Amino acid sequence: MKIFKLILMATLLPFLSFSQSSSGSFELENFIEKNLEALNVTVQDINNLVITDQYTSKHNGVRHIYYTQAYNDIPIHNAILNLNITKDNEVVHFGNRLIKNISSKIRSSIVSLDVEDALKIQFKKAGFISDEPLVLLKSKNSYSHEFRKTSFSDGNIRASLVYLPIEGELILAYECHFTEKSSSHSWGTFIDASTGEILRHNDETIYCTFSGNHFHNHSSSCYEKREAIIAAPVLNGVSGSYNVYPLPIESPIHGSQGLVTDPHFTEASPFGWHDVDGAEGHEFTITRGNNVHAYRDADDNGSPSQAEPDGTDALIFDFPHDKDAEPDASIEADVTNLFYINNMMHDISYLFGFDEVAGNFQSNNYGNGGNQGDHVRAEAQDGANILDTDHTNNANFTPVPDGFNGRIQMYYWGQAQGATNITEPPELAGPLEVNVPNATDWGFIYSQQFSQLDIEEKMVLVDDGTVGNPARGCNPLVNGNEINGHIAMIDRGVCEFGTKTLNAQEAGAVAVVICNVPGVDGGDGDEFVSMGGGADGINVTIPALFARFSDCQRIKASINAGNDVVLKIKEIENAGPSYYSSSFDNGVVAHEYAHGISSRLTGGPSTTGCLPRFDDNGDGNFERGEQMGEGWSDFFALIATVEPGDEGTDSRGIGNYVQGSTVQSRGIRRFPYSTDMSVNPQTMNDIVNGGSIYATGEVWTDALWDMYWAFVDLYGWDADWTNTESGNFKAVQLVMDGMKFQPCAPGFIDGRDAILLADQVNYDGENQCLIWDVFARRGIGINAEQGSTLTQTDNIENFESLPTCIAELKIKKEISTTLTPGEQTEVVLSFANHRPEDMTNVRITDELPANAEFVSHNSNYVVDVVDGMVIFTIGDMATLVEDTIRYTIQSDASVKSAILYSDNNEDPAAQNNNWDREIIEGTNFWQINGIEEFSYSGYNSWYILEQDGITKSDLIYKKLTVEGDNPVLRFWHLYNTTPSVNAGYVELSRDGVIWEDAKRLFIRNRYPSPINYGTFAIPALEGFSGNSNGFEDSFIDLNDYKGEDISIRFKFGTDETGNFFAPDNGWFVDDIDLIDLIEYNTEACITSDTDSGCSGIKTSFVEASLISSSEEVEVKGLEWQLYPNPAGKFVNLEVFSDQSFDTKIIISSGHGLKIREVSTRIQPNSNMIRLDTSGFPAGLYTVQLLNGNKLMTRKLIIY
């Protein structure tokens, strides 16, 4: 490790030099001088950088250098700058995770805690209290230490001082790692070096059962370093013969055992698989060698529980697997297969650049660089003598820094004694785990009747007639003819489980599956609950089953694609063994091994914390983190097992064998992998509410799998892993290099861009459009956003490819969504020729909004205005040329949208007469705000604040008569709430009984956010949540209610937890307007002799105001007012004048229709004129006072 001090020199531009020279120093000093602004740091921030890794990829000559930011020589956790440098010393890409202004972020540099005391705090947190002395083995420096393993740890223990970034601060902490000896727990703990407070404590082992649709863990913890002898390599090593499930066979359900001889790749394992000294001949005749040591660890103590399989000097490991017997009847075959697939993954990944310098797992690196002594310890049938929940239905890999042994643990997987199985279609076939009620308030007696069921029927989605959400089954079903005789699928929410089931029963359903939804108590929808029957449950005589959200989503996707999904409900006893050994599932082993690949390639081989994930609630599940480690692992499991004749549209599962499923089933993921979007419809949005890193990984695999098959379609497929021209080789190479190029803690956009860079470096960018297209297909398009890479909940998907990849003549139109009468508006036309050839006779036509005139333009093109069309003559246009035209229009001052009715919340009588409030749950309620800052107009608005706890409250506008040719409701509002947790939405009703969510009717400023289920107990609900950043106007189209009286309901709810943002934390609702809206829909098009394209319809609204042909003016010596306003049966007009004059008082409707005209004479001083308004409909009016040729206008509201 080399530490460099960067010194600021007295030059015009900062010049950075090193206190000592090294490989890579020239690149860094020049790179930083040119890119200091892009790095977003100061010179002081980078005056203490540590090179943690550097190596060169042989196949493309790119040098990868990884620098860790430090403060006073103490590293900052994951603050890594990685440079990727070509053979010509050009930095083609950098990944930046440096932190700006680090000196101001240091909370404390005082170390009050000894490292031994810090480790004891960690041990105690993990449940170990011991007086056993800690023996220091070595210290790399004054802050990094390694201790001898204890009686309860597997391998040595590490502790080092780091600065941990937390909420904008850098906290000096001990980073401690140890792995328990007799379990898979691998603890990573950060402890405040000053106070002893535990800042972060993660069991980086994930306990995943196949019933939970997940498996394995991979931990970053303690390691046992091995040393080996270096010798010059030869290339004629002998590996041996192995009776295994040879690749590409995935598992015993995919094929049969076969004896393979010398399957090793000499480039990767030049002395075969049983050598460790680099000389002719093998050192081991057992399942041990340079890359892996495989053994049975039935007691889970990290060592062989019996002798390893022995192939004798002939190295023939011919042990049969008895698939019908329990796993312990085939121990030798089990360990041999595990040895084989680990070595194959070593050799295959070596071909793609995961070699010695890149940090691969080898005991002896044969003089090729990198750290050695780190073969993989592969433990078969781990914990087979224990078989508790920690030692079944699991597999794991411990990714560790280069030079320390990786560990893979493969467990028994138990067969599910399932009573519910999907039998059709084949891609979904397999067990469907459900939960049945244990409550006694059901007419169907589960304890007696469930075991007697024998039902096999297709599943049908219910429709209860509710607009927007018909799948809840809370009303009598309107599709009873489809439900009759089948199994009804119903969404959780709004009404009781018994009511849903009874409605389905009355429609003829033979059983019901009720689907969970995300957001209940912060869950992801894959939790089980025990359903109570409620008031109607006692009348139910059919079974109701509760299913996971993810399972329901894949079933619904298949149904919506036109497939019949058939569910069989019948208790069965599984034939065959009670357990399967995961060592025989090559896909699962490959998945686990790949965690070692991704963890060492991302951030450099000496760093394994660059794929962070977080267990925020301490339940052992990692809910947060955008890292794609699970995705790369599934990808490697898939590519290792592709067979001749396979196609991308095939349905591919992961873990089908250990799950006890068929080859065609989806396996242990939410959807099977397929390039067919009807089989696997996932896009980037599916990670936002996916609830775990597995959901994140699935979507990343989807994109990589699509890319793999796109390359195969273009370049072909070859079973020969050494054919560098095949499409499968090229795709895998890009994925491997992408991990080298990407920054520490990458997100989806980082990963995508790194693969695009790899294509530029490896293949001169020949496949840029192919890559853009496949990523855009999964929502990872050019305008997608990844947000913070430490969470997956802030991603924004986008399906647009790189524009130049779509070979079309294109045009894009931008125009304001609001046109102000009498004022000018700019129109922007951006156009491009992205076709590979030149275009001739190019012309652009654009529609003018009605009642608008063309004013001017900024281009040199010839323009004509004909019959409301603006025509630009472009002429010939070369390929890849892009241009922009800006032109100005002016709208007619006399054409305005009309306000037919308005309530500005300023009159107390109107507040009482027009509005109702109702508390649904809790104590939170709507009230009048009198602060001008939180009102759109005047001083008053309705508001409701966030509240800690579960509350629901309604604000109801009792009656609005919908009039006008194009009636629209406009309301001004401001909201600032905990996103997705505390939120509001709007409903409309004709009768005050049946309410419709206004979601589908919004035409401006729609709902911006999903609402967690726990807030209103309504699935898939959206609303106003987050921060509106001030008042905004939302428009609701009321044409469906034209000529009717409606009520408007503003519903606001809070959940148990929230982060409040005072003083405006909550929802503020002000002016309610009924507008007869004028809107214009225009479109721009571009044509040539051979191609054409259009922008799509752009909608602009004309601003609403009182209709008046005269400008409102003020007259000197004259003041006047209306009161009360809003008014009822009369209104007083009070005029103060310093002279007399004759006047006309004109009252007009919001449309400008004259309602009444009064002539009178104004006398000096005060005048009071009472106007009768008793016959006026409620609404907004104008009152105009004429003084000579000057017309003065005031608004009047009649309620």
- pLDDT tens digit sequence for 521-543: 666 787 888 899 999 999 999 99
CATH number of 107-203: 3.10.450
pLDDT at 140: 85
Distance CA 865, CA 852 (A): 12
Considering the segment(s) 897-1077 as one domain, its CATH architecture is Sandwich (2.60)
pLDDT at 1109: 35
Q: Using alpha carbons, list the distances in angstroms from residue 593 to 342, 405, 407, 636, 720.
A: 7, 12, 9, 9, 21
What's the chain's Rg over C-alpha atoms?
35
pLDDT at 1157 over 60: yes
Distance CA 192, CA 88 (A): 45
pLDDT at 608: 82
pTM for the predicted model, two decimal places: 0.78
CATH 2.60.40.1930 residue window(s) in the chain: 1108-1198
CATH 2.60.40.740 residue window(s) in the chain: 809-893+1081-1104
Greater confidence (465 vs 9) lies with 465
Q: Which residues contact 917 (CB under 8 A, 6 or more apart)?
A: 925, 926, 927, 953, 954, 955, 956
CATH 3.50.30.30 residue window(s) in the chain: 420-569
Greater confidence (598 vs 1153) lies with 598
CATH 3.10.170.10 residue window(s) in the chain: 205-414+578-587
CATH number assigned to the domain with residue range 1108-1198, chosen from the 4 options 2.40.10.10, 3.40.50.300, 2.60.40.1930, 3.40.50.720? 2.60.40.1930
| Among the ranges given (643-657, 1006-1020, 1054-1068, 1069-1083), the one the predictor scored with the smallest mean pLDDT | 1054-1068
Share of the chain above pLDDT 70, in %: 90
Using alpha carbons, select from 939, 1040, 1034 the residue that is nearest to residue 985. Answer: 1034
Distance linking the first and last C-alpha atoms of the chain: 79
Distance CA 733, CA 353 (A): 8
Share of the chain above pLDDT 90, in %: 63
Distance CA 61, CA 339 (A): 32
Asked if 492 and 517 touch (Cβ cutoff 8 Å), the reply is: yes
Distance CA 1073, CA 77 (A): 54
Q: Using alpha carbons, list the distances in angstroms from residue 271 to 240, 261, 274, 356, 836.
A: 11, 14, 8, 15, 52
Asked if 617 and 523 touch (Cβ cutoff 8 Å), the reply is: no
Q: What single DSSP character describes residue 62?
A: -
Quickly count: other Cβ atoms within 10 Å of residue 360's Cβ.
29
Encoded tokens for 993: 């009984």
What is the mean pLDDT of the segment spanning 984-1002?
95
What is the mean pLDDT of the segment spanning 829-840?
96
Q: Which residues contact 424 (CB under 8 A, 6 or more apart)?
A: 458, 563, 564, 565, 566
pLDDT at 226: 32
For the 420-569 domain, the top CATH level (class) is alpha beta
What is the mean pLDDT of the segment spanning 394-415?
90
Q: What single DSSP character describes residue 215?
A: -
pLDDT at 724: 97
pLDDT at 261: 96
Give residue 1151's pLDDT band: very low, low, confident or very high (50, 70, 90). Answer: low
What is the mean pLDDT of the segment spanning 1090-1104?
93
Asked if 576 and 417 touch (Cβ cutoff 8 Å), the reply is: no
pLDDT, tens digit, 9 for 90 and up, residues 324-377 = 999 999 999 999 999 999 999 999 999 999 999 999 999 999 999 999 999 999
Q: Which residues contact 931 (CB under 8 A, 6 or more apart)?
A: 939
pLDDT at 344: 98
Q: How many residues does the chain have?
A: 1199
CATH 2.60.120.200 residue window(s) in the chain: 897-1077
E strands of 541-593, at which residues? 544-547, 566-569, 579-581
Find out if CATH 3.40.50.880 is the number for domain 809-893+1081-1104.
no
| Among the ranges given (734-748, 906-920, 989-1003), the one the predictor scored with the smallest mean pLDDT | 906-920
pLDDT at 3 over 50: no
Using alpha carbons, select from 370, 372, 393 the residue that is nearest to residue 382. Answer: 393
Distance CA 428, CA 419 (A): 16
CATH 3.10.450 residue window(s) in the chain: 2-100, 107-203
CATH number of 612-802: 1.10.390.10
Backbone angles phi, psi at 867, to 5 degrees: 50, 50
CATH 1.10.390.10 residue window(s) in the chain: 612-802
Q: Would you call 1184 helix, strand, or coil by DSSP?
A: strand
Q: Which fold has domain 205-414+578-587?
A: Elastase; domain 1 (3.10.170)
Give residue 20's pLDDT band: very low, low, confident or very high (50, 70, 90). Answer: very low
pLDDT, tens digit, 9 for 90 and up, residues 437-467 = 887 899 999 888 888 899 999 999 999 998 7
Q: Which fold has domain 2-100?
A: Nuclear Transport Factor 2; Chain: A, (3.10.450)
Give residue 605's pLDDT band: very low, low, confident or very high (50, 70, 90). Answer: very high
Give residue 207's pLDDT band: very low, low, confident or very high (50, 70, 90). Answer: very low
E strands of 867-950, at which residues? 869-877, 882-891, 897-903, 915-921, 927-929, 941-945
Quickly count: other Cβ atoms within 10 Å of residue 783's Cβ.
10
Greater confidence (561 vs 752) lies with 752
Encoded tokens for 1034: 């939302």
pLDDT, tens digit, 9 for 90 and up, residues 849-896 = 998 999 999 999 999 999 999 999 999 999 999 999 999 999 998 888
Asked if 1149 and 1138 touch (Cβ cutoff 8 Å), the reply is: no
pLDDT, tens digit, 9 for 90 and up, residues 929-940 = 888 788 888 888
pLDDT at 1107: 40
Distance CA 36, CA 14 (A): 9
Give residue 1063's pLDDT band: very low, low, confident or very high (50, 70, 90). Answer: low
pLDDT, tens digit, 9 for 90 and up, residues 134-157 = 999 999 888 899 999 998 988 889
Beta-bridged to residue 254, according to DSSP, are none
Give residue 576's pLDDT band: very low, low, confident or very high (50, 70, 90). Answer: confident
| Cis bond upstream, residue 605 (ω within 30) | no
